[in-house]
A and B are shown apart, each in its own frame.
Chain A
Amino acid sequence: MSETDVATEAHEDAPVASTALFGQAVLYPDRGAYLATVESLRDEGYCTATDLTIVDYLTHPGRSGLPGGVQPERFEVVVGLFDHARRERVRLRIQVPADDPTVPSLFDLFPGTEAMEREAWDLFGVSFEGHPDHSRILLPEDWVGHPLRKDEGIGAIPVQFKSASDRR
């Protein structure tokens, strides 16, 4: 199939590309090969980065669907790129270990990922090397913790029944 061939040819050092589910091509580059893979995809014609997010697999470590040779880690950085000319999307899933949650930043290649990476840092605590403004974006600047991690609870409090004041 054309998309698989194009993808595997261009990135010999990226492990198996799987046209995983539903006709969507997914690549699994190593953390070290991440920037080079994205750069070569951009040169091929993937002109825009649609999305960058993180998934915390702490409570689902035995996930299936990873091709052989890819070592699953706690965090996965998921990047979506889109080639408008060929109308093709590609998704990259980069494994990031919990004890060293850092990946290179895509800001120099795709400036549109600036806010997305800030959000990822804010909610998951994965830092992006080379990001120009590494600070919280959604939560207050003095917030402690990274709420979307699986080991942080949702923070619900029991319903309070308040007596409204009678005083007019």
Chain B
Amino acid sequence: MAAVRLDLGDDERVRRRDGSAVLRMTEVEAADLVLDPSDPVTGERADERMILNMGPAHPSTHGVLRLLLEMEGETVLRSKPIIGYLHTGMEKTGENLTFLQGPTNVTRMDYASPLFSELVFALATEQLLGIEVPERATWIRMLMCELNRVASHLLFQATNGMDLGAVSMMIYGWREREEVLRFFEKVTGLRMNHNYIRPGGVAADLSDGWQDDVRHLLDIIPPRLDEYEVLLNDQPIFRARLQGVGVLAPAEALALSATGPILRATGYDWDLRRDEPYLAYDRVDFDVVVGTCGDAFDRFAVRLEEIRQSLHIVEQILDLLPDGDYRTQDKKVTPPPRARIDESMEALIHHFKIFTEGFHVPEGEVYAAVESPRGELGCYLVSDGGPKPYRMHIRGPSFANLQTLPHLMHGRLVADAVAVISSVDPIMGEVDR
């Protein structure tokens, strides 16, 4: 394939990086800010300039995100996202939990799409272990992850609509999400934070009659997506609030390490499912949805269409899912079935060792990445040969995507700030970890 070199226009990158969009001030400095009226640059309208604090307890900041907005009248000049209000020390906790307990920890990072975090941790662990996961487990993982992508994008549609004032969208989005969560509860036992995808496979096989449940989802969701298009896309106020707002260029997005729908909405065609296939994505057929101009409306439309593509993948999985084991049969990694413990001493010992000490993972380091609904979700895992990770670092896509916020809000009205944050769709759990 011919190498596509991006023309990274120097002046554009430099312009955005010279501090013209990002406010680099501590809180104390911002609070004590006194503008000098005689200053040629800032002085002109010094009496109209102020630094406004937005959040962390704010209905529209999508969790505990705090923003310092330097404003002149209603226009946002520079801004600074302040994060850390949900810092949970999960990477330190990960060093104290065994590899089997790891998914319970990482699943709570991106709580809108928890199965992806579990998946990337399991993929990294399996690479270090050097084990092969059975076909059926791979396809089950793919099915659950694509349904989770649908649920996460529906959450985005709901919160995006609510932030812009279409409050009924909140109720509609949750109506569909409940259907998907009902399926998850049936299969994994939990509505959220499932701890279902574990190193070696999945925790349990799909429930009986799962094909009917999935077909039910495939029947009811697409017509309702059409309803959303009528409710939102065709509505002039919704369009006016999103079109042209928060425009991002592809070169900027790449320079700022943004990935996922934000990058695809700029017109850059990049999706890890197609370009660095994992699981069985090279055996299903789907389109990568790409936007045109990188504004907030494109980000909204890309995610809406991605729901349809995910449902298309789910439809194919319905036919292609093979029979077999749902987790690897390697006795050192997979706990034995509970009934076996009564019969076999060896099974009892394995159960004991796996659940108290944990299975040992050979020394090494690996980076695994998947395409989560927010972008490239990566896991850098270092093992020292013991039962617990030596270092577990999760590359949260929202952490990098948030760096685009000041550039998206630069020069826009403060009312657009809400639309912009909502279109970036950050989940603060994976930002702060």
Contact indicator A115/B402 (Cβ below 8 Å): yes
B393 at the interface (CB under 8 A from A): yes
Interface residues of A in 15-66 (CB under 8 A from B): 20-22, 24, 45, 47-51, 53, 55-56, 60, 63-65
Within 8 A of B (CB), among A94-140: 110-116, 119, 123, 132-133, 135-140
Contact B92 A51 (CB under 8 A): no
Residues in A whose Cβ lies below 8 Å from that of B87 = 138-139
Q: Does A144 contact B (CB under 8 A)?
A: no
Q: How far is the CA of A167 from the CA of B384 in the complex (A)?
A: 53
Cross-chain contact A132 with B92 (CB below 8 angstroms) = no
Residues in B neighbouring A89, C-beta threshold 8 A: 367
Q: Are A111 and B391 in contact (CB under 8 A)?
A: no
B400 partner residues in chain A, CB cutoff 8 A = 112, 115-116
Residue of B2, B26, B93, B391 ringed by the most chain A CB atoms within 10 A: B391
Total number of A residues with any Cβ neighbor in B under 8 Å = 47
Closest residue on chain B to residue A107 by CB atoms: B17
Q: Give B58-77 interface residues, CB cut-off 8 Å to A.
A: none
Q: Is the CB of B378 within 8 A of A63?
A: no
Indicate whether A5 reaches chain B with its CB closer than 8 angstroms: no
Task: Determine the chain B residues whose CB is within 8 A of the CB of A24 once the complex forms.
Answer: 366-367
Contacts of A132 in B (CB 8 A): 19, 24
We find that the number of chain B residues with CB closer than 8 angstroms to chain A is 55
Q: B3 and A86: CB pair below 8 A?
A: yes
Residues of B within 8 A of A50 (CB): 257, 259, 369, 376, 378, 395
- Max chain A Cβ within 10 angstroms of own Cβ: one of B1, B4, B87, B91: B87
A28 to chain B, nearest CB (A): 12
Known A-B contacts A24-B366, A84-B270; the reply to A148 vs B384 at CB < 8 A is no
A113 and B17 alpha carbons, distance in the complex (Å) = 12
Determine how close the nearest CB of chain B comes to the CB of A48; give it in whole angstroms: 5
Pairwise interchain contact B390-A60, C-beta atoms closer than 8 A = yes
Q: Is the CB of B256 within 8 A of A111?
A: yes
Distance of A54 from chain B, by nearest CB (Å): 9
Contact B83 A63 (CB under 8 A): no
Question: Which secondary structure dominates where chain B touches chain A?
Answer: mixed
Chain B minimum-CB-distance residue to A155? B89
Count of A-B contacts judged by CB separation below 8 Å? 121
**Complex Cα gap A47–B6 (Å):** 8
B376 closest partner in A (C-beta): A50
User: Are A85 and B367 within 8 A (Cβ)?
Assistant: no
Which secondary structure dominates chain A's binding surface?
loop
The proximity string for B residues 247-261 relative to A, scoring 1 for CB distances below 8 Å and 0 otherwise, is 000000011111100
Residues of A within 8 A of B382 (CB): 55
Interface centre among B6, B259, B378, B393 (most CB of A within 10 A): B393
Q: Which of B31-66 contact A (CB under 8 A)?
A: none
Determine how close the nearest CB of chain B comes to the CB of A8; give it in whole angstroms.
19
Report if B346 contacts A (CB, 8 A): no
Contacts of B17 in A (CB 8 A): 111
Q: Among B24, B84, B270, find the residue whose CB has the most chain A CB atoms closer than 10 A.
A: B84
B89 touches A147 (CB 8 A): yes
Tell me the bound Cα distance from A159 to B207 in angstroms.
38
**Residue B363 at the chain A interface, CB threshold 8 Å:** yes
Q: For B84, what are the chain A residues with a Cβ–Cβ distance below 8 Å?
A: 136-140
B403 at the interface (CB under 8 A from A): yes
By the criterion CB–CB under 8 Å, are B257 and A65 in contact? Answer: no
User: Which residue of chain B is the closest to A156 with respect to CB atoms?
Assistant: B96
Question: 11 more A-B contacts (CB under 8 A) besides A21-B366, A51-B367, A87-B276?
Answer: A21-B128, A47-B8, A48-B257, A50-B259, A55-B391, A60-B390, A65-B364, A111-B13, A111-B255, A116-B399, A132-B24
Q: List 24 A-B contacts (CB under 8 A).
A: A20-B364, A21-B127, A21-B366, A24-B367, A47-B254, A48-B255, A51-B367, A55-B365, A60-B384, A65-B365, A80-B367, A85-B5, A86-B1, A111-B17, A112-B257, A112-B400, A113-B257, A114-B403, A116-B399, A123-B91, A140-B84, A141-B26, A141-B27, A148-B92
Which residues of A does B touch, CB under 8 Å?
A: 20-22, 24, 45, 47-51, 53, 55-56, 60, 63-65, 78, 80, 84-87, 89, 91, 110-116, 119, 123, 132-133, 135-141, 147-148, 154-155
